[in-house]
Amino acid sequence: MNNLLHSALTRALHYRTTLPTRRVYPDADAIHALTGLDEPLPNHPTDPETVLAQLDDLGSPATVAMAGGRYFGFVNGSSLPATLAANWLAAAWDQNVALRVMSPIAAKLEEVSTRWLVDLLRFPPETVVGFVTGATMANFTGLAAARHALLAKQGWNVETDGLFGAPAIKVIVGDEVHASLLKALGLLGLGRERVIRVPVDDQGRMRADSLPPLDDRTLVCIQAGNVNTGAFDPAQEICEQAHQAGAWVHVDGAFGLWALACPPRAHLARGIPDADSWAVDAHKWLNVPYDCGLAFCRHPDAIRAAMTVLAPYLLPTAHPEPSHFTPEMSRRARGIEIWAALKSLGRTGLADLIERNCQLAARFANGLRAMGHTVLNEVVLNQVLVTFGDADTTHRIIAHLQAEGTLWAGGTVWQGHTAMRISVSSWATTEEDVDRCLEAVHRYTK
């Protein structure tokens, strides 16, 4: 064990310290070398050091350098040093946090993290948190709580009786709803397409003046952070209208919710804390290792009714248990890295991280405009959409940039325009990184 873990440390240190100089996307040779893994299932044991060596020799060169400063694909954070170190220790602890009795330390860290997060995001003090895999499951969990509460008001117990014959729930989404929220609705039997789509404005924000009639059987799903533009739905107006009608408001804030923790950007999220449930990713902007999302709910009874399982062997206690707020029972103790991130950054460190990323996104946008390219969105947060001309030209340039290796950014089609999406979400990104990437763009577009 001793030599093996030291070897893992040496290899991991080499990986992290060489990130600034390595290609962001692996080259063709490294990807081809992965065929070395296509061997039959071994009949006999392999020495763990040999296992680790193969993983490092073939695996490390074929990784995408998401943990570095020049990866801008999708919305992917990196892992802060404290969270990576906490993750290693947590892996050594190997704790299951379904129940407090399984791991007092893991349960304690989730309890402390819950308190800190609720304070940080200015949510109502009664808010509870489920520590889930990511925003997709956080949306699922918040929507399950909503489904429970709306149907319970109609005298229907959806957990015991299911949805067949249940009173109908009206589900409202913005026209630029994230695909994963629709998936969560589908998983809950509410239907990916059985939704009312509300028109959006020129930044993808739901138009509050176009909401259909709302009532106490309505679930309104809004966004804090459009995946393309970073724009926020007008939460204050929507929450006011919804709550007057007795509707439930759920927020998909996969990355944008963190704006609430950043005073210069918090105005974008005005009214978001008025909602009933919220989904956010910690593996995005809090920069903890994958997989880590958070489902917040200001109605503890609703989320518990949706998620709790009871059995005599599960030792029921008077206290809520971590698994009362999550779809999973056994799971990784995700609160450990959340706690480490919040403890190491503090309120100001997190605000600085978010603000720095937003300013770097603006630097990107300014540099691209200075080269004559069109930035399609108002760069209010960390997302930049740039077009290099027609769709074919834009695709070609994205492909060149991805192959060249200085940076990695993906493509999208937004409101009829083909664009490159730049998402600045890593604590590791610096001004020098952005300038280096702008030079690469210049090389391919001059």
Ligand X SMILES: Cc1ncc(COP(=O)(O)O)c(C=O)c1O
Binding site for ligand X (CB under 6 A): 74-75, 134-136, 178, 180, 225, 227, 252, 254-255, 281, 293
**Beta carbon of residue 395, minimum distance to ligand X (angstroms, whole number):** 21
Considering beta carbons, is residue 271 or 367 the nearer one to ligand X?
271
- Contacts of residue 249, defined as CB under 8 A and 6 or more positions apart, other chains included, come to 220, 221, 222, 235, 238, 239, 242, 243, 274, 275, 276, 277
Q: Least Å distance between CB 49 and ligand X? A: 34
For the bound state, the minimum distance from the C-beta of residue 219 to ligand X, rounded and expressed in Å, comes to 16
- What's the closest the beta carbon of residue 385 comes to ligand X, in angstroms? 14
Distance set, CA 49 to CA 12, 36, 43, 53, 75 (Å): 14, 17, 18, 6, 34
Residue nearer to ligand X on the CB measure, 71 or 156: 71
Minimum CB–partner distance for residue 192 and ligand X (Å) = 14
Residue that the structure tokens 């978001």 belong to: 272
Closer of 252 and 337 to ligand X (Cβ)? 252
Choice between 262 and 280, CB closer to ligand X: 280
DSSP string, 132-170: ESSHHHHHHHHHHHHHHHHHHHTT--HHHH-STTPPP-E
Q: What distance in Å separates the CA atoms of residue 312 and residue 316, rounded to the nearest whole number?
A: 7
Q: What's the rounded Cα separation, in Å, for the pair 249 and 343?
A: 30
30 CB-contact burial (10 Å; exposed 0-12 / middle 13-18 / buried 19+):
middle
**Least distance in angstroms from the C-beta of 102 to ligand X:** 25
Alpha carbon distance 157, 177 (integer Å): 28
SS3 sequence of 162-227: CCCCCCCCEEEEECCCCHHHHHHHHHCCCCCCCCEEECECCCCCECHHHCCCCCCCEEEEEEECCC
β-partners of residue 294 are 131, 280
Q: Which is nearer to ligand X, 74 or 444 (CB)?
A: 74
Nearer CB in complex with ligand X: 99/188: 188
**Is 8 in contact with 51 (CB distance < 8 Å)?**
no
Query: Could you tell me the smallest distance in angstroms from the CB atom of residue 421 to ligand X?
Result: 10
CB-nearer residue toward ligand X: 110 or 252? 252
Decide: 272 and 296 in contact? Cβ < 8 Å. no
Cβ-closest position to ligand X: 134
User: In angstroms, what is the minimal distance from the CB of 74 to ligand X?
Assistant: 6
Nearer to ligand X, 204 or 322 (CB): 204
